[in-house]
Structure 1
Amino acid sequence: MEFFKSLKKQVIAFIAAIAVFLIAGFCGVGQQSVSASSSLPTTTDSSLSLDVKAAIAVDANTGQILYAKNAEQTLPVASMSKLLTAYMVLKAVKSGKLKWNQKITPSSAAQKVSQDTSLSNVPLKEGTSYTVRSLYQATLIYSANGAAMALADAVGGSQKNFVDMARKELKKMGITDAEFYTANGLSNGEVGDGKYPGASDDAENKFSAKDMAILSQKLIQDYPEVLKTTKITRLEFDNGTDKTQMENWNWMLPGLAKAYTELPVDGLKTGTSDSAGACFAATVNKDGHRLITIVLGAKHESQEDVSRFEETQKLMSYCYNNYTYTTLAKGTTFKNTNALRVHNGKDYTVSVSLAKKTNVWLKNGVSKSQLTAKAVGNKKLYKKAGLEAPLKKGQTVGTLQISTSAQKLYYLNGDTYLKADAQTTKAVEKANIFVIGWRTLTSLF
């Protein structure tokens, strides 16, 4: 009797060990992810020489990085900070907190800064009210510093509250290494009574080129209407008894000094200071393929210096001349893609394909036939060792991690592959109870 009890315990232990091994092995199929790079190289292509401290070029839709130079180095960005202020204003308008025709009276701090003729400004009159729209336009087109502060007060109730709200928004975007103290990009001491408490007077806003690309992408994706304003070349600011003629500081816009005739630039924002040099967040849309470029720390030897625009043009030309915008159609399959395990299905596995159209920029000489993909199943659809049957044809069941050995891929979110939804290429019916029972029995021995 004791012999059979002992034998029974050994059999149970053996079966349990085999079961654990099988489940661990099966669950691992399709569940491993490609490791993402935690940082970008100092430069992704040494053949492009840009006379700037840092730069990046990304696809506005997917976040694919086409070029990077010192892209993760945090640097002063001056008035490019106003892109975050614009984002906060657009968010407040969308939520109903602000209305475009709503009139606000600038605080004394905002009004005082607006009177500083050494800064970019539209002069705001004491005790006079202005519409949110007019201040927003002045902020983006003419980089009006006092107007940006007035908007910050309207959004946050005070400069400090606005900065705190903006910092939280940056974290939501995944930006954790930026420094943000003022709504307009001036140093903390330059905004007078609007300065952020506890910070030194020389504290200033700092972002990396990558951070600024993330912010620009979010701005365009969440509020594409921003481009209707950033592409305006000239506009008049009505101050009641007098008017200010505003010309966009983005001289790459059509009709302005450094217009890029080959590509339709329609945004976004410049930034200039002694510490930041000349900076520029630009965007261009060619044949429906929008790019975002950032240059930080270009030369700024005079008010007429056009270095940042020339370096931006080099960067844009590099992207369009060295990459091919490649569309991957829905249903595309890739070589060497692993099938996903199916639990209790008539078939043990199911192959997958691209669930919807996407795109990737491939370097000249690299074709989409060279792309490979790793399938990763959706854990929510997993039961024990695989996707739970039945499965429909065309059902989204996970993701594809698409890459190629012929070209390194980089993305703003840190991925080193193009991530896209994966769908089943066929239907998989659930196996009947007898088949399931037989598989269970045979798997144990």
Structure 2
Amino acid sequence: MKLFKSLKKTMIALIAGVTVSTAAAAGIGGLSVQKVSADSLPQQTDSNLNLDVKAAIAVDAKTGQILYAKNAEQALPVASMSKLMTVYLVLQAIKNGKLSWNQEILPDEASQKVSQDTHLSNVPLKADHKYTVKALYQATLIYSANGAAMALANAVGGTHKNFIDMMRKEAKKMGINDAEIYTANGLTNDEVFDAKYPGASDNAENKFSAKDMAIIGQRLIEDYPEVLETTRIARMKFKNGTDETTMENWNWMLPGLAKAYSELPVDGLKTGTSDSAGACFTGTVNKDGHRLITVVLGAKHDSQEDLSRFVETQKLMSYCYNSYSYETIKAGKSFKNAASLPVYHGKDLKVAVSSKNDTDVWLKSSVSSANLVAKLSGDKKLYKDGGLVAPLKKGQTVGELSVKVKGQDLYYLDGATSIKIKAKTDKAVDKANIFVIAWRAIKGVFNR
């Protein structure tokens, strides 16, 4: 027994001093997810798609994969599409308990004054009447009511200036750094009367890029999917304390309206129109269970009945569905040259790994799932001397697969240029016993 204990101590000392594991020799395969800077998104256009707009983008609503981009990072006036950020903050306030749907709001003077301007999209608000948050919210989204949006902003922020500061802060949190924000409804600074943002010029107006609007749209649908219950409403009456106003949604791609197209079940989101912005539209469509968000900025607007923004949006949506296929990388998929990771002091020197969860990607018609290639990065927190420390459980997350597509560049709203998938172990690996570890250490010394 004493001899055994002495031998064991010797082995442990030998291991501590000279262990050169085969795991270290194997090394760690890895590729960190690449990022693109805020002003480096390449044009992703197609000669077969000629959009008559200043800027445009199309993205997958779930993953943020960018399928089309034209001048997508140029900040431009967006007019009433600004209300999407206002609505986001309203829904956030409701979620946090600051507002409730049935809460009644007395319009402040500036909001009420704006609501009476018949040259703008509005439901008229009375100075001495209270309106529910729900009614003002519906008027904002369906009829783009400018006074209603301001009344909501004032209720959330306490003052209009405070709310604009909240919009700016939220934009930064979303990764939007190039926006200019002065009003809650998208009007110019002087058009909101006493609610104008202090220190800004009278003609200052909100500007976002097409990419910015796609980010807001994605966050809105992801965080508050109930917004679609309202944006899909084609017509509604507003009659809470006012002469009854018929609100017809300015999104004429909705079923039953002027530019509805049966092949594209559009159910949101928001239009914007002004002399400087032209005709703009952030749209969303869910076809065959695959939701897209599109943005067009600066389409023609020769008259109130001009359908150009919807024509261009229809072309863009149809292009995406017709030019790409929707593929799912199934959980458990392994990739050549990225199928295993080294193990430190395990019974096995390597462990097979594969994708942990289903992940979706749009592939151009010219490529297929056979074009998917991956590089594997192990989780360094689980490593010692170049290998994953045993024991390992089956299904344990041990790293990340960075998947690219041969023949197709990938770009995402968050700046990623590859598909990011968690990598899991395909089987358990027990820790090797002391004798196996010692023998490997000795072999390592002689193999140097």
Q: Same fold (TM over 0.5)?
A: yes
Identity value in percent: 69
For the Cα contact (< 8 Å) 1:282–1:294, is it kept in 2?
A: yes
Is the aligned partner of 1:433 residue 2:434?
yes
The residue number in structure 1 matching 2:323 is: 322
- For residue 31 of structure 2, what is the aligned residue in structure 1? 32
What is the CA–CA distance in structure 2 between the aligned matches of 1:393 and 1:132, rounded to whole Å?
A: 51
How many Å separate the matches in 2 of 1:26 and 1:206?
52
- The question of whether the paired residues in 2 share the 8 Å contact of 1:43 and 1:70 is answered with no
Asked if structure 2 preserves the Cα contact closer than 8 Å seen for 1:85 and 1:148, the reply is: yes
CA distance in 2, matches of 1:149, 1:47: 42
Tell me the equivalent position of 2:54.
53
Compared with structure 1, are the counterparts of its residues 169 and 443 closer, same or farther at alpha carbon in structure 2 (3 Å cutoff)? farther
1:340 and 2:358 aligned: no
Partner of 2:396: 395
Task: Give CA deviations for 1:25-70 in whole Å, capped at 9, x if unaligned.
Answer: 877x234314333322133323311000010111101111111111
Q: How far did 1:438 drift? A: 3.9
Give the Å deviation of 1:17.
13
1:5 aligned partner? none
Q: Structure 1: how far apart are the matches of 2:402 and 2:224?
A: 28
Q: Hey, what does 1:292 align to over in structure 2?
A: 293
Q: What is the Cα-based RMSD across aligned positions, in Å?
A: 2.1
1:347 CA drift (Å): 2.4
Structure 1 residue ranges, 4+ long, deviating more than 6 angstroms after superposition: 15-19
Please state how far the C-alpha of 1:420 moved relative to its aligned partner: 1.5
Which residue number in structure 1 is paired with residue 11 of structure 2? none
Amino acid across the alignment from 1:160: K
> What does residue 119 of structure 2 align with?
118
Give the 3-state SS of the residue equivalent to 2:219 in structure 1.
helix
Correspondence for 1:178: 179
CA 1:440–1:182: 2 relative to 1, 3 Å: farther
> CA–CA distance in 2 between the matches of 1:73 and 1:18?
56
Q: Distance in 2 between matches of 1:176 and 1:430?
A: 49
**Cα shift readout 1:376-410 (whole Å, capped 9, x = no counterpart):** 22233333423221112222222211111121111
The runs of 5 or more residues in structure 2 that have no matched partner are: 1-15
One-letter amino acid matched to 2:292: L
Task: Give the 3 Å change call, closer, same or farther, for CA 158–326 of structure 1 in structure 2.
Answer: same
The 5 Å alignment of 1:227-246 reads 227-246=228-247
SS of the residue 2:267 aligns to: strand
Aligned partner of 2:384 in structure 1 is 383
Could you say which residue in structure 2 is the equivalent of 1:43?
A: 44
Amino acid at match of 1:35: Q
Task: Supply the distance in 1 between the matched residues of 2:183 and 2:242 (Cα, whole angstroms).
Answer: 30
Q: Which amino acid aligns with 1:308?
A: R
SS at match of 2:127: coil
Shift of 1:367: 1.2
Deviation at 1:327, TM superposition (A): 1.6
TM-aligned CA deviation for residue 442 of structure 1: 4.7
Structure 1 position 371, deviation (Å): 0.6
**2:339·2:354 contact (CA, 8 Å) conserved in 1?**
no
1:123-142 to structure 2, matched below 5 A, reads: 123-142=124-143
Displacement, 1:344? Answer: 2.1
**Which residue identity lines up with residue 32 of structure 1 in the other structure?**
L
Q: Is the 8 A contact 2:129 2:241 kept in 1?
A: no
AA at the equivalent of 2:72? A
Relative to the length of structure 1, the TM-score reads 0.92
User: Does residue 355 in structure 1 map to residue 348 in structure 2?
Assistant: no
Give the aligned residue type for 1:345.
G
Residues 17 and 112 (structure 1), Cα distance of their counterparts in 2 relative to 1, 3 Å cut: farther
The residue type equivalent to 2:365 in the other structure is: N
- Contact kept, 8 Å, 1:124 with 1:239, in 2: the verdict is no
Instruction: Give the alignment of 1:145-156 within 5 angstroms.
Output: 145-156=146-157
Following superposition, the deviation at residue 16 of structure 1 comes to 10
Map of 1:407 onto structure 2: 408
Quote the Cα distance in structure 2 between the aligned partners of 1:304 and 1:17: 81
Give yes or no for contact 1:335–1:371 (8 Å, CA) kept in 2: no
State the alpha-carbon separation in 1 of the partners of residues 90 and 18 from structure 2.
59
**Does the 8 Å CA contact 1:30/1:339 hold for their aligned counterparts?**
no
C-alpha distance in structure 1 between counterparts of 2:44 and 2:362, whole Å: 18
- CA–CA distance in 1 between the matches of 2:283 and 2:389? 47
CA distance in 2, matches of 1:128, 1:30: 66
CA distance in 2, matches of 1:181, 1:434: 71
> What is the identity, as a one-letter code, of the residue corresponding to 2:32?
S
- Aligned mates of 1:126, 1:182 — CA distance in 2: 21
Aligned residues between the structures: 428
Which residue of 2 is the match for residue 265 of structure 1?
266
Verify: 1:203 aligned to 2:204, yes or no.
yes
**Equivalent-residue separation in structure 2 for 1:383 and 1:201 (angstroms):** 62
Distance in 1, Cα, partners of 2:18 & 2:139:
70
Q: What secondary structure is seen at the aligned counterpart in 1 of 2:95?
A: helix
Hey, what does 1:166 align to over in structure 2? 167
Q: Distance in 2 between matches of 1:140 and 1:314?
A: 24
